[in-house]
Amino acid sequence: MMPQFPNSAAAAASIVEALKAVAGSPPKARASFAKGRCVRGTYAPSDQASEITKSRSFTKPSRVLARFAVGGAHPKVADTDKLVLRGFAFRLGSDGQRSEIFAQNAPVHYARTLDQMLAFLKARIPGQGGKIDAARVKAFSAANPETLFQANYLAARPLPGSFAGTTYWGVHAFPATNSRGETRFIKFKVEPVGGEVTLTEEEARGKSADFLSDDLNQRIAARDVRFSVMALLGRSGDPVMDATVRWPDEDEREAVRLGTIVITAVEANETCDEANFNPANLAEGIGHPLDEIFVARRAVYAISQKMRE
């Protein structure tokens, strides 16, 4: 059962409005990751998957519906902006045993609580003339330093050069129950089989604002889009209630490969709009994270989808 937090439903509605307001409230756009590409493919589990989870969505082969996206609520955000998140949402499993996972190219979220997330967004809503109040943002960041962890992570790394060559993180701690009934927390990490693809600043200057979709088309045609779905294994004492912090030694943490996703074709974007990719949809064997941000996701995704209809 998912924990309940005070006023989470009302806060979720306010967050959707704020996400859209930050981008100038574009009509019919997603509240977040508005610019994206729908794709399909296959998932093949590893022999070790059942040691981590009994979820049939991770232990059985299945078709995959997925969406690569660039962060924010503006559908025309430039792919050359490295401070904007890249996202990878995917659905595994069959009817009754489906799991929908969202991962991003930073290992942390930008807020610990719903109130903090809402305040973060409100500080960045443009005023008259379409300008953001830099002093207001600076003051908020000084009072809430953990809200800078995500941006600092992105700023310290090169621009992603391909959706297919990016590592994606699930920032939440998921309780996973294996075939023996043992439960432990895991974090999802989705790694490109061919390694990461990045661009220098000079290379980025020669790219179009939509280069990621063109690159994805070429790689799919070349059958060159494969990801390992990894489970980072939790230990006693790991922080599981705060999505703004990483686990100790997370980059060196023991990990188990759950399976491999192969992207085989581009799908109509409308197909992914109908799917919604609500990360609260999880098959038995993968439980809901306990942190406040995840609890709000179910309502936020549903509200955003309804607003697009």
What residue ranges define each of the domains in the chain, with the CATH number in brackets?
Answer: 8-308 (2.40.180.10)
Q: Would you say 98 and 55 are in contact if contact means Cβ atoms under 8 Å apart?
A: no
Under DSSP, the state recorded for 286 is: B
C-alpha distances out from residue 213 to 73, 216, 303, Å: 18, 5, 27
The model's pLDDT over 15-56, given as tens digits with 9 standing for 90+, comes to: 889 998 998 877 777 888 999 999 999 999 999 999 999 999
How sure is the predictor about 9, in pLDDT bands with cuts at 50, 70 and 90? low
- Rounded to an integer, what distance in angstroms lies between the CA atom of residue 29 and that of residue 52? 37
- How does 279-295 read in b/e, with b if 16+ C-beta sit within 10 Å? bbbbbebbbbbbbbbbb
Label residue 162 exposed, middle or buried (CB < 10 Å: 0-12, 13-18, 19+).
buried
Mean pLDDT of 200-215: 96
How sure is the predictor about 303, in pLDDT bands with cuts at 50, 70 and 90? confident
Token pair listed for 154: 């992105």
Sign of CA dihedral 285, 286, 288, 289: positive
Q: For the whole model, what pTM was predicted? A: 0.94
Token pair listed for 60: 């059985």
Q: In the prediction, which pLDDT does 258 show?
A: 98
The model's pLDDT over 120-140, given as tens digits with 9 standing for 90+, comes to: 999 999 998 889 999 999 999
Give the SS3 label for residue 38: strand
- Rounded to an integer, what distance in angstroms lies between the CA atom of residue 224 and that of residue 205? 25
Give the SS3 label for residue 185: strand
End-to-end CA distance of the chain: 29
- The DSSP annotation for 193-259 comes to TT---EE-HHHHHTS-TTHHHHHHHHHHHTT--EEEEEEEEP-TT---S-TTSPPTTGGG--EEEEE
Q: In the prediction, which pLDDT does 1 show?
A: 46
How sure is the predictor about 308, in pLDDT bands with cuts at 50, 70 and 90? low
Q: In the prediction, which pLDDT does 8 show?
A: 60
- Rounded to an integer, what distance in angstroms lies between the CA atom of residue 261 and that of residue 257? 11
